[in-house]
Amino acid sequence: MNKKVAVFRREHFNAAHRLSNPEWDDATNEKVFGKCALPHYHGHNYELEIKVVGKPNRETGYVMDLKELGDLVKREIHSRFDHKNLNLDTKEFKKLNPTAENIVVVIYKLLRPHIDKKLKMQVRLYETPRNFVEYPVR
Amino acid sequence: MVYLTRSEHFNAAHKLYNPAWSYEKNEEVFGKCANENWHGHNYELLVTVKGTPSPDTGFVFDVKRLSDIIKEYVIEVVDHRNLNIDVAFMQDKMCSTENLAIQIWKQLVPHLPAGVQLHCIKLYETPRIYVEYFGE
């Protein structure tokens, strides 16, 4: 019998960004990224869902203490990205285009070292209520 | 009297910063919202008009026309923009959700036909924060 359970923690942060490829000229950036390339930035309410999968611990009944997971997200993610300009204020996106795809991979890599290796983890990031991404893909 | 609402959405950057105050005072009052390089939101805008349904159409107002008016005079101006820098109707005003709702009201009123009254601008800055303005 498979006793694995998936647990989820939802968090949110707000940030400004713009999408551009510095190797392209303005016209190409505008053609590819449209309004997202506008020079003075725009922003989003990012919604983040962290999924952790494993067998519940015999003593606690927990896969992972979700309060601890919440604190981890606040410490590793909010402190870096909340109410920031992703392009200007973060070292993670100085040279990396802050698309939802790239942000979700960065968030996964920031959190993974702090979560028990025995537990599988997946991150879902909503850029808007209609656009969202997931990493890793299984 | 029937109330009719159209929902639209836009994304924008902004910051809360009073240029008449010191950097420290801005930080004290506005906290993270004063971050000098901006932050941003997915705004949800609900525009409510009121009137008596026309006996010919059954409509208070053609909601497609309402949507077109909101898009032309508000969404096109603010979407994917920096509210502090790029938006003419927010110049020299504090870029709070309260003030944005008041200015959106002012943008829309002149474009509504006689017999259709603007009732409410409801503006969500986040799923947990919103303001309502009734033109008072």
Q: Name the region of B115 (left: φ>0; alpha: ψ -120 to 50; beta: rest).
A: left
CB within 8 Å of chain A, chain B residues 23-82:
32-33, 35, 37-42, 79-82
Q: Is B11 on the interface with A (CB under 8 A)?
A: yes
The token duo for A115 is 């979560």
Domain ranges within chain B, ordered by starting residue:
2-133
Q: ipTM of the predicted structure? A: 0.85
Residue A138 confidence (pLDDT): 79
- Closest B-chain CA to A36: B80
Contact A40 B13 (CB under 8 A): yes
Question: What is the mean pLDDT, run by run of 10 residues, along chain A of 138 residues?
Answer: 90 97 95 97 98 95 96 98 98 97 98 97 97 95
Which domain, by its residues, includes A10? 5-135
Number of structural domains chain A divides into = 1
CATH number (domain holding residue A81): 3.30.479.10
What are the φ/ψ torsions at residue B120 (nearest 5 degrees)?
-155, 140
* pLDDT for A1: 55
Closest C-alpha to B123, from B22, B44, B42: B44
Which architecture characterizes domain B2-133 according to CATH?
A: 2-Layer Sandwich (3.30)
Report pLDDT digits (tens) over B97-117.
999 999 999 999 999 999 999
pLDDT at position B88, please?
98
Contact call for B40 and A40, based on CB within 8 A? no
Band of residue B11 on the pLDDT scale cut at 50, 70, 90: very high
Q: DSSP E strands: which ranges in chain A?
A: 5-17, 42-54, 84-85, 120-126, 132-135
Q: What is the pLDDT of residue A70?
A: 97
The answer to whether residue B2 scores a pLDDT higher than 70 is: yes
Distance CA B40, CA B51 (A): 35
Reported pTM: 0.90
